[in-house]
């Protein structure tokens, strides 16, 4: 035992001596380890960009994010599955992105069910984003965020919640305007989206996957994109494309520049999975501004038309038609009596500019026209067989004249019911074998959608047993009714069947 202890002691002394010898030979010294914390990283001020004057400015997203987050809201919309089933017969994104993406981005689709099915309407809650554009509570969002909603709730960045009233919608651009009763709210300002440049830094602010107040950054990847996402007959698509991450829930959120000013409303993504894959699309602020102005002034959007069938000029069209130009908008045909024909434009002309601003494709042309109203006069430059000519076009409305439409204020009872009513025409009454009635032309948020599963097109014959032939009859019977209501009627598709719907006033 003593032998082992002696050997161990000798070994320890030998190792210790070797270490001291090495320290002596190589100049090793004992050092104190000190951990330092750096609060201001030098990289924070190392990135720069240029402003419109070409001056270098720090690339800092923090101030912009703080400014914009206060003006971006979370929107919760409650929808009746029965009411949506009538309007979601087709997939507005199916042709481009597939049914799976549509369901991931907008939620499951529903099949039509018979309107007399004896059950309570199933409710669905969806979420999206919105942007406060005026301190007195006006909020812009996408139409598809609140479409067919029976209830819309807005939650601010400070977690206060408000019930929102729908001011108006424009399916042709997928925009909707809401109003909450509050003042002194933070808001964002619009900038001229024509001046936005490809490669410019932008930020997307919204509520993807219910992750409130999410900020992402990227650049403008392209402008004037037409992705055929809107199925409206008069749809206007000229999106700003960005690689700032946009996901389900970002719809209706803000796309802003580094000053925190609005350049677009985030609307769609292109993705094989339904989640961010590098491509997001926003409605340009110039279109948003025009839609908001029209909804506030007229109650409906004033759309101007040039009265021509158009195609973007590309290499294939140039080869087909023997054109010497590879950019512009080719006039394929004219609408008889339309604005373009009246101005002297001919089939085969190539539109190259409007108001001296170049238009290189049909998307750019439609965007420019969409910013004007019927009756507006525009200078249009065309290339006719190599010769440049200017024409003055006065835009028409879809009916072929220059009148501007003012939406009538709905009667209070129609607003309460959430229905647009009209008397049944004598021809329809004769066809259905009835004396008359009042037809539901359109359903909106209100009692009918919330408390029944009545569908658009339903013809009301009796209310609480009393016959109705005119919307005024509905006013008379319901204006002072504070109890239960039973409406009785038919659908023109099934004239032999009678349906009953009950709700409370």
Question: Mean pLDDT across the chain, nearest whole number?
Answer: 83
Percent of the chain with pLDDT over 90: 58
Q: Within the chain, which residue ranges are assigned CATH 2.40.10.120?
A: 60-301
**pLDDT class of 88 with cuts at 50, 70, 90:** very low
| Confidence label for 59 from pLDDT (cuts 50, 70 and 90) | confident
**How confident is the model at residue 255, as a pLDDT?**
98
Q: Count the Cβ atoms, other than its own, within 10 Å of residue 291.
A: 28
Q: Is the CB of residue 424 less than 8 Å from the CB of residue 436?
A: yes
Each residue's pLDDT tens digit, 107-130 = 444 333 344 444 455 778 899 999
Neighbouring CB atoms inside 10 A of 377's CB total: 12
Query: pLDDT: is 18 or 400 the higher one?
Result: 400
Domain with CATH 2.30.42.10 in the chain: 308-394, 412-504
Rounded to 10 degrees, what is the CA torsion of 108, 109, 113, 117? 30
Q: Please check whether residue 166 is in contact with residue 178, taking contact to mean a CB–CB distance below 8 angstroms.
A: yes
**Residues 272-316 pLDDT 10s:** 888 888 889 999 999 999 999 999 999 899 999 999 999 999 999
Query: What pLDDT shows up at residue 270?
Result: 85
Q: 308-394, superfamily in CATH?
A: PDZ domain (2.30.42.10)
Q: Report CA 416 to chain centroid distance, whole Å.
A: 27
Print the SS3 string covering 39-99. Answer: CCCHHHHCCEEECCCCCEEECCCHHHHHHHHCCEEEEEEEEEHHHHHHHCCCCCCHHHHCH
Is a pLDDT exceeding 50 seen at residue 15?
no
Q: Indicate which residues carry an active-site annotation.
A: 144, 174, 251
SS3 of residue 471 by DSSP: helix
Q: What is the distance between the alpha carbons of residues 138 and 292, in angstroms, rounded to a whole number? A: 10
Confidence check: pLDDT of 266 > 50: yes
pLDDT of residue 285: 96
Class of the CATH-defined domain 60-301? mainly beta
Cα–Cα distance, 338 to 390 (Å, whole number): 17
Q: Which architecture does CATH list for 412-504?
A: Roll (2.30)
Task: Give me the mean pLDDT over the 327-340 stretch.
Answer: 94
b/e per residue 169-178 (b: at least 16 CB within 10 A): bbbbbbbbbb
Q: What is the pTM of this model?
A: 0.71
* CB contact at 8 A, 393 and 377: yes
Tokens 């238009």 belong to residue = 359
Are 388 and 381 a contacting pair, CB within 8 Å? yes
Could you say which DSSP state residue 335 is in?
A: -
């Amino acid at each position: 035992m003593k032998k082992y202890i002696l050997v161990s002691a000798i070994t320890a002394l030998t190792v210790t001596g070797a270490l001291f010898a090495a320290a002596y030979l190589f100049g090793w010294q004992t050092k104190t380890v000190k951990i330092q914390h750096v609060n201001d990283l030098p990289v924070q001020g190392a990135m720069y960009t240029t402003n419109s004057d070409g001056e270098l400015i720090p690339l800092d997203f923090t101030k912009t994010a703080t400014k914009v987050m206060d003006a971006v809201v979370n929107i919760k919309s409650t929808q009746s599955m029965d009411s949506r089933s009538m309007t979601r017969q087709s997939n507005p994104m199916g042709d481009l992105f597939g049914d799976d993406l549509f369901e991931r981005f907008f939620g499951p689709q529903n099949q039509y069910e018979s309107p007399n099915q004896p059950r309570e309407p199933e409710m669905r809650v969806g979420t999206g984003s919105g942007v406060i554009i005026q301190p007195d509570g006006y909020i812009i969002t996408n139409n598809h965020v609140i479409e067919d909603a029976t209830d819309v709730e807005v939650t601010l960045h400070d977690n206060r919640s408000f019930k929102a009233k729908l001011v108006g919608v424009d399916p042709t651009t997928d925009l909707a305007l809401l109003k909450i009763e509050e003042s002194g709210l933070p808001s964002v300002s619009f900038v001229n989206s024509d001046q936005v440049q490809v490669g410019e830094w932008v930020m997307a602010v919204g509520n993807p996957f219910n992750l409130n107040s999410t900020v992402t950054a990227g650049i403008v990847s392209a402008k004037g994109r037409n992705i055929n996402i809107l199925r409206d007959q008069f749809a206007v698509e000229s999106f700003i494309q960005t690689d700032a991450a946009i996901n389900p829930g970002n719809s209706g959120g803000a796309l802003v520049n580094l000053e925190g000013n609005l350049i677009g409303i985030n609307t769609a993504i292109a993705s094989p999975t339904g989640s961010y894959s590098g491509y997001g699309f926003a409605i340009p602020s110039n279109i948003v501004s025009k839609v908001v102005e029209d909804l506030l002034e007229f109650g409906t959007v004033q759309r101007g038309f040039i009265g021509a069938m158009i195609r973007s000029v590309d290499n294939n069209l140039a080869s087909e038609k023997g054109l010497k130009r590879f950019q512009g908008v080719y006039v394929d045909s004219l609408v008889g009596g339309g604005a373009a024909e009246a101005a002297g434009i001919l089939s085969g002309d190539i539109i190259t500019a409007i108001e001296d601003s170049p238009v290189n494709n049909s998307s750019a042309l439609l965007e420019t026209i969409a910013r004007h109203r019927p009756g507006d006069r525009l200078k249009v430059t065309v290339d006719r067989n190599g010769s440049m000519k200017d024409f003055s076009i006065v835009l028409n409305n879809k009916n072929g004249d220059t009148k501007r439409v003012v939406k009538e204020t709905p009667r209070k009872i129609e607003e309460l019911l959430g229905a647009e009513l009209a008397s049944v025409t004598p021809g329809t009454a004769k066809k259905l074998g009835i004396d008359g009635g009042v037809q539901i032309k359109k359903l909106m948020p209100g009692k009918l959608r919330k408390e029944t599963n009545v569908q658009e097109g339903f013809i009301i014959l009796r209310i609480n047993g009393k016959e109705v032939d005119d919307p005024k009859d509905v006013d008379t019977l319901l204006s002072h009714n504070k109890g239960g209501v039973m409406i009785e009627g038919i659908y023109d598709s099934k004239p032999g069947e009678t349906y009953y719907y009950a709700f409370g006033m």
